Structure 1
Amino acid sequence: MKFRTSVGLLFAAIIVIFSLQNAEVIDVKFFFWKLSISRVLVILGSFGVGLLVGILLSIKKKIMNKTQI
């Protein structure tokens, strides 16, 4: 297994463990919306969005490098 994959899996496991230990219900306010939601969902959702953005930027960079060559 590649080093990056191992580090990524370890980081994801740490995020999941941290999330499960913070399972209280919290109020999330965003502009005029107010939601009562589990903190686990907020943490995992933020992690998922960050992961998705990172993957999309990585793909964009690879595509830009291929078009320049």
Structure 2
Amino acid sequence: MQFFLIIALLIALLAVFFAVQNTTMVTVYFFVWQFSSSLALVLLLSLAIGVILSLLLSLPRIQSKNWQIIKLKKRINEQEKEKDTIKEQIAEQLGTINSLQRQVNEYKEKLLVPPKIIVNNESIKATTEDEQTDFSK
């Protein structure tokens, strides 16, 4: 964009130099009209008309680009909303996963703890071939 601005300023500067050096009167004929003025004024008027015409001719392209930009911004907003929704769903799923993992760990701990065996000392007796031993004493 800066390149085009520099080029436009150079053209304007050249037009001013041309206008200052060429002050003679000229007559411009356009169909049935006739216009007499200094060459500088005719040049500046022609330059201004050229700028206006080029802007008018580029308006459809500019407008279509603006519509495209609006559509793309709308699409970006929709995708950002979708991204936020997906992030929320991921956070919920991670919470569920963490909760289930805690439950699994609790169940593992319960399964790994050896069961407590309550033994009544009076009921344990061992017998051998020779004798019967009472372990309760």
User: What percent of counterpart residues are identical?
Assistant: 35
Which position in structure 1 is the counterpart of 2:3?
3
Larger Rg: 2
Three-state SS of the structure 2 residue aligned to 1:27 is: strand
Q: Aligned partners of 2:23, 2:35: CA distance in 1, in Å?
A: 15
- The unaligned stretches of length 5 or more in structure 1 are none
What is the count of residue pairs matched by the alignment? 69
Higher relative contact order (Cα pairs below 8 Å, separated by 6+ residues): 1
- After superposition, the Cα gap between the structure-2 partners of 1:21 and 1:58, relative to the gap in structure 1 and judged at 3 Å, is same
Moved more, 49-58 or 28-37: 28-37
Alignment of structure 1 residues 25-40 onto 2, 5 Å: 25-40=25-40
- The unaligned stretches of length 5 or more in structure 2 are 72-137
Which position in structure 1 is the counterpart of 2:19?
19
